[in-house]
Structure 1
Amino acid sequence: MHKFLKYLGVAACALLAGLVLARTSTHAASKESHFVKEDQQVTENTYYITAKQAQQFKEQNPNAVVLAVAYGKVPGFSKGHIPGAVQMSTNDVESQAAKWNLLDASQLRKNFLKKGVTADTPLIVYSPDISAASRVAFAAYYLGVKNIKIIDGGQQAWKKAGLPLEKKSVQPKKQTDFGSNTVAHPEAYIKTPADLLKAEKKNPDLKLVSTRSWKEYIGDISGYSYIKETGEPKGSIYGRVSKSSSDVAYLTNADGTIKDPKAELAYWAKKGITPDQEVVFYCGTGWRACVPFFLAKEEGFKNVQLYDGGWYQWNMEHKKDPKKYPVQKGEPGTKNFKVETTVSAER
């Protein structure tokens, strides 16, 4: 009898735990919201699409190229990937030698041509990391690829949609003519700190938006193993995009899909970051800032740009000329806020 009662007690506890877990899971799922929807109208100005929309896009565009993106090799690519996908490393669009900025346009063209991409190629990009996918997509946009799509949620979303994967390796159909030797969107790209100063001089109302984490923004941490110094370019606005240097967590759900940005857009508006303003996003070296770049474009921001040099390059210039490239630390409007126009030994 004792064993039987003990069994009933364990069973009851298990049932209660299951109910609590189910309720918690349902509550968590109810908190999820989505920017990308199955019923959205997909045009050339739509960048983030669902997995099913990507499948339809492939069917409607037999010459489409699918790029699976990561820093280096794509994890698990040989065990299964989206049919027809070829790998592209973020090192094909940026390099340490270039201070992690985009490579020069001629080299970018060569690297995209090797993957079969021209200005007229319908392009699908996906990655385990939405920032990596958006980084490569931005390079393609900058050059002039006219129809770019990024799969919201990457391969995980593809599998969740019940779409097939393949294991066979696909060789890219290399191209020789990109279609243009002129960069299509120079207006979207601010490369160096000097270029940023020119843009700010031209428009003093420019909104320079940091997509870095709060601790990075106030100067508690740099966020990078290879950057010792902390801070932000003077005048930057906290954009509430990242929780660490490796995510854009305020913009995404747990599964990596993009949240409904209503709350973020409202937060931005309070900071003066609105569609009618000239808005420049940046982070440490360019990855994270590419996500809100495309999000803002889809939300009707007419003059949105990427400052690619980010904190990494601004810090380099500050150490050479701190008066020209001042650094801010702390939360603006508080007693802890300060602007450094000399190189601090504490940095």
Structure 2
Amino acid sequence: MKRVSQLTALTMAFGLAAFSTFAAAIPHSFTLTQLRQQHGVVIDTRPSAFYNGWPQAPGGAFGHEPAALNLSASWLSLMSDTQLADWAKRHHLMPDSAIALYGSDSDNQAVRARLNKAGYLHISLLRDALQAPDRLQRLPHFEQLVYPQWLYQLQQHKPVVATPAGDWKVFEAGWGAPKYYLLSHIPGAGYIDTNDVESEPLWNKVSDDKLKAMLLKHGIRHDTTVILYGRDVYAAARVAHIMLYAGVKDVRLLDGGWKTWSDAGLPVERGMPPTVTPASDFGAPVPGQPQLMVDMEQARGMLRRQDASLVSIRSWPEFIGETSGYSYIKPKGDIAGARWGHAGSDATHMEDFHNPDGTMRSSDDIAAMWKQWGIRPNQHVAFYCGTGWRASETFMYARAMGWKNIAVYDGGWYEWSSHPQNPVATGERGPESSR
């Protein structure tokens, strides 16, 4: 063990004392204007649902303070010191940054203690937080990502914000038989097998006639509000996107999926899906929104256009051709000229888009990630992955973010790679490769 000289020890002690005195001199609270004058950072310590726009209480504020970061106290137990350091680095948080927190007292105290431990000592409170509704920011369509307590209140026939306009139904979506659903699911939820909306050989969407029949079987019309969740968020998102394509007007996701409901300690039930009276008529043509899906020729036409982005939602090893990502897809590489939209560590993970609890990462983070690759909200944007699940999840996030002209390239890498004439790229490359 290295010895520390007396002079060094005295210097360190003096430095720590001076630093503590400086930290103690920080005001107990800032207004937003004062914090901006200090070039400080605002952190919202509430759950992401309230940061995104849901009011925390009846008559409460919608959204978050301008440019606020979201570091929910509920995430702290899920974040290692390394992960917290990565979060801070990603958001350019420096040890000498002036930081102001807002949220409940207990949440603020928990976040402050954790940040103090990580070396951030210039922490105070935002005194005028959520007091000026006109300056607050939120997801343009936050209501499309519901949270567990909202759904529970809806089921209890309690008044809620963004209540469905008419009939509503809840479904769990998953691949194959409902083995986990049978053991435990959200009370009253039905079950949709993803095999009913996509099929081999390429796992593309089923025919419009089959899709309509599936919807009618589950009692779904064009004006039914459908709330979907999954053990994997992207399974529910896959069904959600295809329902929107079919013409169901109001389709919502439980943000974070089944895990958020389970973690909230809300009631569950087990057993078979409830008996449903089929709908006699969908009430509108199918598909109702064909523009939400592009085919291979349309995807090819989007390449290297400045007003369009064909976006790969695949892991970096898939994008550069180290792996295809799937046991049943042999070719490696990706679409030449496509822009990388991030995903996760492999074909079954989406960490780049998730908070530590699996909910949607902040829209500012996602938009900044995409901007690096030239993916912008004013473009025609089509997402794809291997067969559509991950692409559908990002589609649902972009939709909640208010992006207008978005779609999913249903065929994805599986279809593209099965046609040898299609251009393919491999190897390390950056945003310039898509220009």
TM-score normalised by the chain length of structure 1: 0.79
* Structure 1 residue 27 displacement after superposition: 5.3
* Structure 1 residue 43 displacement after superposition: 8.9
Q: 1:139 maps to what in 2? A: 242
The 1-side partners of 2:366 and 2:138 are apart by 22
Q: 2:413 maps to what in 1? A: 311
The 1-side partners of 2:176 and 2:78 are apart by 37
Q: How does 1:5-16 map to 2 (within 5 A)?
A: none
Q: 1:260 aligns with which of 351, 354, 362?
A: 362
Q: 1:119 aligns with which of 219, 222, 240?
A: 222
Q: Is 1:152 aligned with 2:255?
A: yes
Structure 1 stretch 265-274 or stretch 87-96: which is displaced more? 265-274
The 1-side partners of 2:416 and 2:350 are apart by 21
Identity level (%): 35
Larger relative contact order, structure 1 or 2 (CA cutoff 8 Å, min sep 6): 1
Amino acid at match of 1:106: D
Q: 2:281 maps to what in 1? A: 177
Contact 2:324/2:333 (CA < 8 Å) preserved in 1?
yes
Amino acid at match of 1:68: E
Structure 1 stretch 303-312 or stretch 256-265: which is displaced more? 256-265
Q: 1:285 aligns with which of 387, 396, 400?
A: 387
* Structure 1 residue 258 displacement after superposition: 1.8
* Structure 1 residue 168 displacement after superposition: 4.2
The 2-side partners of 1:168 and 1:100 are apart by 29
Amino acid at match of 2:397: L
Deviations 1:72-104 (A, max 9, x none): 12342222211111111110100014x211112
Q: Is 1:56 aligned with 2:160?
A: no
Contact 2:229/2:236 (CA < 8 Å) preserved in 1?
yes
Q: 1:301 to 1:152 in 2, by over 3 A?
A: same
Amino acid at match of 2:185: H
Specify the SS of the correspondent of 1:46. Answer: helix
* Structure 2 residue runs without a partner (length 5+): 1-75, 89-102, 104-129, 131-136, 158-162
Structure of greater Rg: 2
Q: 1:122 to 1:225 in 2, by over 3 A?
A: same
Deviations 1:323-342 (A, max 9, x none): xx1111112359xx8xxxxx
Q: 1:107 maps to what in 2? A: 210
Q: How does 1:1-347 map to 2 (within 5 A)?
A: 25=77, 28=80, 31=84, 46-58=143-155, 59=157, 63-97=167-201, 99-169=202-272, 170-191=274-295, 193-200=296-303, 205-318=307-420, 322=421, 325-332=422-429
Amino acid at match of 1:244: D
Specify the SS of the correspondent of 1:167. Answer: coil
Q: 1:243 to 1:176 in 2, by over 3 A?
A: same
Contact 1:241/1:249 (CA < 8 Å) preserved in 2?
yes
The 2-side partners of 1:41 and 1:146 are apart by 22
Structure 1 stretch 142-151 or stretch 68-77: which is displaced more? 68-77
* Structure 1 residue 266 displacement after superposition: 0.8
Amino acid at match of 1:47: Q
The 2-side partners of 1:168 and 1:245 are apart by 31
Amino acid at match of 2:352: Y
Contact 1:131/1:247 (CA < 8 Å) preserved in 2?
no
Amino acid at match of 2:297: A
TM-score normalised by the chain length of structure 2: 0.63
Q: 1:242 to 1:195 in 2, by over 3 A?
A: same
Structure 1 stretch 100-109 or stretch 74-83: which is displaced more? 74-83
Amino acid at match of 1:269: K
Deviations 1:225-251 (A, max 9, x none): 011110111101111122210121111
Q: 1:235 to 1:27 in 2, by over 3 A?
A: closer
Q: 1:285 to 1:121 in 2, by over 3 A?
A: same
The 1-side partners of 2:354 and 2:375 are apart by 19
* Structure 1 residue runs without a partner (length 5+): 1-23, 338-347
Contact 1:219/1:330 (CA < 8 Å) preserved in 2?
yes
Q: 1:226 to 1:69 in 2, by over 3 A?
A: same
Q: 1:44 to 1:110 in 2, by over 3 A?
A: farther
Amino acid at match of 2:255: D
The 1-side partners of 2:248 and 2:319 are apart by 33
* Structure 1 residue 184 displacement after superposition: 1.6
CA RMSD of aligned residues (A): 2.9
Structure 1 stretch 257-266 or stretch 233-242: which is displaced more? 257-266
Deviations 1:140-160 (A, max 9, x none): 111111111111122221132
Specify the SS of the correspondent of 1:125. Answer: strand
Count of residues in correspondence between the two structures:
301
Deviations 1:129-174 (A, max 9, x none): 0110000001111111111111112222113223211224312221
Specify the SS of the correspondent of 1:76. Answer: helix
